[in-house]
Amino acid sequence: MIMETITVAIQFLGGTLPAIIILAIVDLILLALLIGRVGSSFRNFGRALGSALGVGGVVALISVFLLPAHTGASWANLHGATDYLGLLGISIGLGLAAAAAVFPPIQYLLGMASTGRDQRQSARA
């Protein structure tokens, strides 16, 4: 079952693998800037996490419907709990991967917004 799940995930992501690698590099750079506190902060962590999980939820929901068709199967080909649990597992995994991918840019942008606002307020005082 594990190999089948990995095969379906690779088949689903095969054409977008270069873009995923580029996105991972950008995310690592933004994470390094965030840790180094360059232009950002952890102030809006909850908002960024909620937004990222929302994006992940949408990706998971969409992938539940697109995965069977993408692999050449249909809903009629899904038989038993193993097929449905595999489909749900892959969809949840893709959703979590999407949330992890969009979290650093969202956190960086929200952190920049909060530090910019704080700097403007301290300049007024």
Supply the pLDDT for residue 99: 92
Residues 11 and 75: their CA atoms lie apart, in Å, by 18
Supply the pLDDT for residue 10: 76
Supply the pLDDT for residue 45: 77
Q: What is the pLDDT along the chain (125 residues), one digit of tens a residue?
A: 778 777 877 777 777 778 878 888 887 887 777 677 655 556 677 888 889 999 999 999 999 888 887 777 777 777 877 788 888 888 999 999 899 888 888 887 777 665 555 555 555 55
At a CB cut-off of 8 Å and minimum separation 6, what does 21 contact?
Answer: none
Residues 25 and 23: their CA atoms lie apart, in Å, by 5
Burial label, 14 (beta-carbon count in 10 A; 0-12, 13-18, 19+): exposed
Supply the pLDDT for residue 119: 53
Q: What is the pTM of this model?
A: 0.64
Residues 35 and 89: their CA atoms lie apart, in Å, by 31
Supply the pLDDT for residue 96: 92
